[in-house]
Structure 1
Amino acid sequence: MKTTRIHHVAIICSDYKRSKKFYTEILGFQIINEIFRSERNSYKLDLQVGDNSQIELFSFPNPPHRVDRPEACGLRHLAFEVDNIDEAVRELKSQGVEVEKIRVDEITGKKFTFFQDPDRLPLEIYQK
């Protein structure tokens, strides 16, 4: 199998309006498509991330809670590349988002830090 990139990451949220606002207004991702699937009582929001990636944001009635230990099996976090991490952190904080202290990757020497979406999904920003 030859893959060329990650096409999308799917996220199920507990409060659709709150998460839609977070991903579009705070993180600034552009809406590609939004539909309500009445047979599933579920929204599906496709968001553009950069030039080549997407996030699919889903709402489902009463989804089970995510295991909150960062070392649990499964997706550990979702990382976004930014040109200027200091500027990105300032923007996030100005929107009321709590951001951890900026660290430096001991292997690459690049700056990175973590924050959470409204459902406590761990998100990372990583200096380009």
Structure 2
Amino acid sequence: MKLKSIHHIAIIAKDYAESKQFYTEVLGFEIIQEVYREARDSYKLDLALGGLYQIELFSFPDYRPRGSYPESLGLRHLAFAVDNVEEWIIYLRSKGVESVQDVRVDEFTGRKFTFFNDPNGQPLELYEN
């Protein structure tokens, strides 16, 4: 048996509208499909990035907050490859993303990276590729 690829990443939003705006208008994901699931009182938004990755963004009225940060058990962060980390830091700050850290350099690869949070507190990373 062999895995082919990552199919999607699921994120539960505390504020669905704010998270939808962040992932589509700030980060540039494309909407594939949005559905309201009446039985769960929940939205599900399928997002694509260059046709290669997919995020499922959910709203749930009874979500639970994320555990201790940043070393919670489970998904630590989601990383995106970018061409220029410095340009992204400037861009994100211009969009009001206050959590963007200054540039770091990977001590093993010499590549630049940074961390920031989405509106739900989910840690995100930009890694210069």
Residue equivalent to 1:34: 34
1:3 matched to 2:21: no
CA contact (8 A) 2:89 2:102 kept: no
Matches within 5 A, 1:69-80: 69-80=69-80
Residue equivalent to 1:68: 68
CA contact (8 A) 1:14 1:62 kept: no
1:108 matched to 2:112: no
Q: Distance in 2 between matches of 1:118 and 1:15?
A: 8
Q: Distance in 2 between matches of 1:4 and 1:102?
A: 32
In the TM superposition, what is the alpha-carbon distance from 1:113 to its structure 2 partner?
0.4
In the TM superposition, what is the alpha-carbon distance from 1:86 to its structure 2 partner?
1.3
Q: Secondary structure at the match of 2:39?
A: coil
Q: Distance in 1 between matches of 2:83 and 2:118?
A: 21
In the TM superposition, what is the alpha-carbon distance from 1:93 to its structure 2 partner?
0.9
Q: Distance in 2 between matches of 1:68 and 1:32?
A: 32
CA contact (8 A) 2:101 2:114 kept: yes
1:120 matched to 2:128: no
In the TM superposition, what is the alpha-carbon distance from 1:83 to its structure 2 partner?
1.2
How many residues align? The count is 128
Q: Secondary structure at the match of 1:39?
A: helix
Runs of 4+ aligned structure 1 residues displaced above 6 Å come to none
- 5+ long unaligned stretches in structure 1: none
TM-score, with length taken from structure 1: 0.96
Q: Secondary structure at the match of 1:101?
A: coil
Q: Distance in 2 between matches of 1:97 and 1:55?
A: 20
TM-score, with length taken from structure 2: 0.95
